[in-house]
Structure 1
Amino acid sequence: MRPIARVHRQRPGVHDADRVATSLIPVAATAAALLSHVRPTGTIQVDVVLTAAFALLASLAGRRARPPALLIFAGAAVAAASPVGAVVAAALAIALAIASAFPASAARPSQCTLLGASVGGLGANSFLHGTDLALGSAVALGIGGTLILAVSAYRNCTLSTRRVARYSAWGVVTFCVIATGAWGYALLGARVDVTDGIDHFEAGIDAARDGDSERAEAELNAAATSLHAARNTISAPWAWPVRVLPVVGANARAIDLIAEAADDLSRSAAAASDAADVDTFQSDTGRIDLDAVRRAERAVTAVEQAMTIARARLDDARSPWLVAPLAHRLAEAQGELADAAPLVRNAVDAFRAAPVLLGESQPRRYLVLFGTPDEARGRTGFPGNWAELVATKGQVTLSGFGRLRELNQAGLDPVNRKLTGPAEYLARYGRFTPETWHNVAMSPDGPTVADVVAQLYPQSGGAKIDGVLTIDPVGIAALLKMTGPVSVTSFKEPITSANAVDFLTRRQYLELANDDRIDLLAEVGVATFERLLAGAAPGFVAAADELGDAVTGNHITFVAFDDRVRPLLSRTGIDGALPPVNGDDIAVITNNAGGNKIDFFLRRALDYRVSWRPDTGDVTATLSINLTNAAPSTGLPDAFLGNAIDRGSPFESLPRPGVNRQWLSVYSAWTPTAATLDGKPVLLQYETELGRRVSSLLIDIDPGAARTLTLTWNGQLPVGGDYTLGFTAQPLVNPDTLALAVTILEKDDATRRTETRVFVLDRDRRIVVNRD
């Protein structure tokens, strides 16, 4: 025999206030729910309706539920709540649930109804406002508590109400099954297109990197076609009903947004791969088509805009309701777009800057300095030769070249040349007669050197220049990757990207007479530039990796004086500027003081040991610089072992053959507290330059010998952050090796852990050690 449902009938004496309050509480709970930010489907309009309905039904169910069910529901709300306000609301719900079980309340049904409605409304809003509802314990508590509340209310309803509830529940379940099934079918239908689209997109990007613009365009167009088809399948009308379902709807919406972003981005990339094919910009005569550059700028700008929209869509797709695999893939896509954004921004700015640099509105003149690391100077090497380039409406011509000594002898006498700055440069290098060209590149900062060069060139027989380009043998080898081999009159073998560095840093000094050798670097460089300027280069994109490595390693630097261009060059590091000091910072710079090419034999090994207390920011550090001169004392040409410094130089005496004399400078964030040379205390010269403390000394290294300079300093880093170290590389024939050890100390100075790393300093390094 079926139990008869208990029916609450209005009894005589029921207070009107109870009846009014019982009616208003569900309304108030619904209004409060509208203020929540829970988005179980990701569609705001649907989520507003669902959250309001949840609060309303919970409050109505609370009117019929028994005290134990009310207590369980309120307890689940307390367990899931986190903010103080939500915890208070849930705790109040528990108190009311307990009160509903007392005999005094039971004797007054209207009061039980009032208390139950309050518990349901408070508990529901505690769930909605008090937690970042996501797949996990909070949702489990919410579902479990709500089911218990609903079952208890169902059992205490009239038969007609139960019937309506059953039919409604079956209708909702049926809708959920059909909607989810239709969406799942759409996903299966789009699976092949999504896979093909991703494969084509990755192949297109690879082809673009390889310089194959035709294949890149074809692959990216195929990707766009596949991804567009997948997008249409996923967003078909019969797949849309799933959007109103909690959890499933949020995942469906995220997948649709991802597909939409990928579709639009692949289409923009396909269009840009054709318009931005830089290998088609140059005609057979070498002229750069500036109209094509402008078209490329517009195409790449469209890609940037598509990326901005794609990032916004992916941000919009984020939801705590996403299943873990989808959330992980979404985070990966966001990271990839974030990494690509600066590169695309630089590409836009590069295409925008190109017409300015190539003389679209007025001729532009640039001085090229050919440096060699065999004789260390700052970060360019000794610039023994020069060339002048003039750009007019996209046509770049070589207007002159020669030896550095010609610039010393031309124009004003060096005594009468005037430098007006930079002030730090003059203060630090004024003793080395910077008005002569041989020492112009002693500073490790590219913009500083370019500033000085721009002042000296017009006083040395040249015209006003718009920028300075420096290049060394590694940079020339990278350009030869583009142009192919070049031939020079003084050497029987073609100079290729494979043999250029060895030939220009070693073989020329061993195999050629002095007169043939002096102009060889410029001869190779000029021949390479002439092929570039004549339009004979087979491909810029194909050599992009080599060029990128050469720029990153400061083997090619370029400083332009136009304010429209300088920010791009600074941001990309092409200008060879010393990076800004941010935390601990080190740069070791040697300037050859013997006037020879003996730095071919120089080996530098750096050992940096740091003790750091994160709680105070205190840093104690020791840097050991081991300099080894692998040169013999005899048996090699004077270009390697001799000394060509004039006796009137700032240095007191000339070193004997085979001795490597260096002016060694250590740039650091803090002033050293102690210094030793080969274990003995040594006096250093302390100066400042470019926001750094500079410690310098003149050091002689005998043939086959090694010397070690050790510096110690105490410093302070911000409390609460990680340990950061910037290590600036000096381009040398033999790159430095760096052994780093960072010991993290506890508050009592006990060792927490030590991290060790070893680097080859072929480029600037930014090193971060986490405190935890």
Structure 2
Amino acid sequence: MSHVQSEVDPAARVRRWALIILAVTAIAVIAWTWRSIAVLQREANAAVDPLGQISADPDQLDETELLLRNSAIHAQRAKKASNALPLRVASRLPLIGDDMRAARTLANALDNTVSDAGVPMVDLAARLLDVPEQGNGPRPLVNTDALNDAPATVDRASRAISVSHQELAEINAASIIDQLSVPVTLATDKLGKADQALREANAYAPFAADLLGADKPRDYLLVFENLAEARPTGGIAGKWALVRVDKGAIQLVDIGANENLTELTLTSRPPLEDDFVALYGPSLGPVTNANLTPNFPDAARLILATWAQQGRQPPQGVVSVDTVAIARLLELTGPITVPTPGSSDQIVVGADNFVQVAQADMYRWFEGQEEARQLFLSGLTAVMLDRLGDNMSMRNLATTLAGLRDGQHLMAYSQDEAEERALQQAGLSGALPAPTGKQALVFVTDNGGSKLQHYLHLGTCATAQAIGVQIRNDVPADFSSALPDYVLNQRAGAPDGDQIVTLAVYLPAGRGTDSVTVDGKPVPVQAGTEGGWALVRVPLSVPPGQTATVKIQLSGSGDAPEVQNQPLTHEVTAADGVCG
């Protein structure tokens, strides 16, 4: 009996030890797995968190680089944790397989994003801003050698971000554990925004070097729009400057005023659409009427045709800035002291007073002295461009220019079709958008030859059934003595201080008008089309201190449109009580 027991016991002991070893191994594997998951989760969160703090502001480039470098370290650790043997095995198992695969996808996406897109883009930005000293010449805004390398870097980054975003977007965050769903959702959102931004940058990066004269100089006609005399792109084209951009540096070539350009003849006009000619044809001679249209590319083509008619060599493009844009640029240059022509006096002009000076004060200072006023403006323009060329860098300009672009205070046109498409992609072209059912456009045009829109206030509103517009005239009560004659209406028979304007409303796609009223009374309107939009134009004369209320009752059905308008001196407000 004892012999039999001795034969059985060793096998039982082996089985017991095998079970013990298997159990210990299983516990160790489970512990290793959960430790790997914990490490991956911790490192993934640490990699994702900085993405929410990254800024596109060039002034924060150093901070952005530190955040990305930190994110890269944690992304690599997360990737290493995701490649641990237990997670690779667990990703093939039921129940927990989805979680493990999501964890590995997140880790790989973060690592690829930071290493293949984030770090290279920050390195590129640093190179672009590393502008070498130029001695006596104007300082370039950007390092054009780096700008030539930008297309390849942006393209690689765009493709890397796009792949990572697509991989994360395919994860069903609702089906995985909370510890993973939060970083997956956050990373998907951040990469989606980065993907869109890089797609847009990828569209115009190939043209940036040429636009900034990296390989050969480029000439641009810089047009200054005065918001005191309203036009649909902003204001009347008053001053102009011919500038040359060579390897990123700006130089002033010539400067003048609209009076220096003779009227555009019929035979010199560029090709125009029939609906455009029907709306604006009789008024298109003076360069000051080139932007009766809200479509800046058409306005720029008319300006270039006028320029060429003078026997001048056409520049490669047109850039428009208005008085608000110049005030913003003066924030960068600092105040400018301008001598008063024919006097020992000097005037200090800065960001805080430029709009008031350019749109109001100078007409009083130089009343009856047109040549002195033009010399004053030319001197101010020349000094500002000199300051921008010598002392500014893209690091200082980028954020300001982006804000000006978004408010359409800055627009650009290129005669090269591919470059023009890139400018449209970048939101710089000022092109009339394609009509949609969710948008309406409102434009005001001075029709009295005045500078009174400095005192105009616009309010708008919209519902699914109506669009409302209010125009308030805040001309001083003592305008007849307080304002120079040059500022008041020049049109024969027009009341001196009235806002004599044409209001144009571009209707949502598929909508028409049932009625148009001014201050509750039906009025006749001019109907037309432009760029696929149906529009109505309403002539108005608003006395000093008064408000005109225009209500357009819409036909057809649709949602309440978003109302957009041209750049104006004063912020647009809500037209309370008009659309209800």
State how far apart, in whole Å, the 1-side matches of 2:74 and 2:303 are: 55
- Tell which structure's C-alpha radius of gyration is larger: 1
Give TM-score, length-normalised by structure 2.
0.85
Residue 637 of structure 1: aligned partner: 483
Q: Give secondary structure in 2 for the equivalent of 1:375.
A: strand
Superposition map of 1:133-282 within 5 A: 178-190=28-40, 193-194=43-44, 196-202=46-52, 205-206=54-55, 209-267=57-115, 268-277=117-126, 278-281=128-131
Question: Which among 275, 283, 299 is matched to residue 449 of structure 1?
Answer: 299
Superposition map of 1:551-570 within 5 A: 551-570=405-424
Question: Which among 566, 569, 572 is matched to residue 730 of structure 1?
Answer: 566
State how far apart, in whole Å, the 2-side matches of 1:741 and 1:636 are: 33
Task: Provide closer, same or farther for how the CA distance between residues 209 and 655 of structure 1 changes in structure 2, counting only shifts above 3 A.
Answer: same
State how far apart, in whole Å, the 1-side matches of 2:250 and 2:386 are: 10
| CA shift for structure 1 position 706 | 1.8
Residue by residue over 1:625-672, the C-alpha shift from the partner in whole angstroms, topping out at 9 and shown as x without a partner, is 222111134232226752234xxxxxxx43122122112222213332
Question: Which among 382, 386, 410 is matched to residue 530 of structure 1?
Answer: 386
| CA shift for structure 1 position 304 | 1.4
2:141 maps to 1:305: no
Residue 440 of structure 1: aligned partner: 290
| CA shift for structure 1 position 524 | 3.4
Q: Unaligned stretches of 5+ in structure 1?
A: 1-167, 611-620, 646-652, 718-722, 744-755, 757-772
Residue 426 of structure 2: aligned partner: 572
State how far apart, in whole Å, the 2-side matches of 1:224 and 1:438 are: 54
Pick 1 or 2: higher relative contact order, CA cutoff 8 A, min separation 6. Answer: 2
Residue 406 of structure 1: aligned partner: 260
Residue 94 of structure 1: aligned partner: none
| CA shift for structure 1 position 689 | 1.3
Q: Which amino acid aligns with 2:569?
A: V
State how far apart, in whole Å, the 1-side matches of 2:326 and 2:132 are: 20
Residue 609 of structure 1: aligned partner: 463
The CA RMSD over aligned residues, in Å, is 3.2
Q: Which amino acid aligns with 1:681?
A: P
Residue by residue over 1:345-377, the C-alpha shift from the partner in whole angstroms, topping out at 9 and shown as x without a partner, is 233334321122134565432211100111101
2:454 maps to 1:586: no
Residue 239 of structure 2: aligned partner: 385
Q: Which amino acid aligns with 2:448?
A: G
Q: Give secondary structure in 2 for the equivalent of 1:728.
A: strand
Q: Give secondary structure in 1 for the equivalent of 2:481.
A: coil
State how far apart, in whole Å, the 2-side matches of 1:175 and 1:692 are: 73
Question: Which among 507, 513, 518 is matched to residue 677 of structure 1?
Answer: 518
Q: Give secondary structure in 1 for the equivalent of 2:423.
A: helix
Residue 274 of structure 2: aligned partner: 423
State how far apart, in whole Å, the 2-side matches of 1:497 and 1:686 are: 40
Q: Which amino acid aligns with 1:552?
A: D
Q: Unaligned stretches of 5+ in structure 2?
A: 1-17
Contact 1:404 1:438 in 2 (8 A): yes
Residue by residue over 1:61-103, the C-alpha shift from the partner in whole angstroms, topping out at 9 and shown as x without a partner, is xxxxxxxxxxxxxxxxxxxxxxxxxxxxxxxxxxxxxxxxxxx
Report how many aligned residue pairs link the two structures. Answer: 548
State how far apart, in whole Å, the 2-side matches of 1:385 and 1:465 are: 16
Contact 1:604 1:627 in 2 (8 A): yes
Superposition map of 1:93-108 within 5 A: none
Q: Give secondary structure in 1 for the equivalent of 2:567.
A: coil
Residue by residue over 1:10-59, the C-alpha shift from the partner in whole angstroms, topping out at 9 and shown as x without a partner, is xxxxxxxxxxxxxxxxxxxxxxxxxxxxxxxxxxxxxxxxxxxxxxxxxx
State how far apart, in whole Å, the 2-side matches of 1:540 and 1:552 are: 18
State how far apart, in whole Å, the 2-side matches of 1:346 and 1:291 are: 22
Task: Provide closer, same or farther for how the CA distance between residues 560 and 416 of structure 1 changes in structure 2, counting only shifts above 3 A.
Answer: closer
| CA shift for structure 1 position 212 | 3.9
Residue 351 of structure 1: aligned partner: 205
Contact 1:671 1:693 in 2 (8 A): yes
Residue 537 of structure 2: aligned partner: 696
Q: Give secondary structure in 2 for the equivalent of 1:307.
A: helix
Residue by residue over 1:105-127, the C-alpha shift from the partner in whole angstroms, topping out at 9 and shown as x without a partner, is xxxxxxxxxxxxxxxxxxxxxxx
| CA shift for structure 1 position 234 | 3.6
Give TM-score, length-normalised by structure 1.
0.65
State how far apart, in whole Å, the 2-side matches of 1:463 and 1:246 are: 73
Q: Which amino acid aligns with 2:470?
A: N
State how far apart, in whole Å, the 1-side matches of 2:288 and 2:360 are: 21
Task: Provide closer, same or farther for how the CA distance between residues 693 and 195 of structure 1 changes in structure 2, counting only shifts above 3 A.
Answer: closer
2:510 maps to 1:654: no
| CA shift for structure 1 position 214 | 3.7
Contact 2:297 2:429 in 1 (8 A): yes
- Moved beyond 6 Å, runs of 4+: 168-176, 740-743
Contact 2:39 2:81 in 1 (8 A): yes
Q: Which amino acid aligns with 2:304?
A: A
Q: Which amino acid aligns with 2:568?
A: L
Query: Which segment drifts farther, 297-306 or 657-666?
Result: 297-306
State how far apart, in whole Å, the 2-side matches of 1:480 and 1:510 are: 22
State how far apart, in whole Å, the 2-side matches of 1:478 and 1:282 are: 26
State how far apart, in whole Å, the 1-side matches of 2:91 and 2:339 are: 74
Contact 1:371 1:384 in 2 (8 A): yes
Task: Provide closer, same or farther for how the CA distance between residues 596 and 739 of structure 1 changes in structure 2, counting only shifts above 3 A.
Answer: closer
State how far apart, in whole Å, the 2-side matches of 1:624 and 1:466 are: 40
Contact 1:419 1:435 in 2 (8 A): no
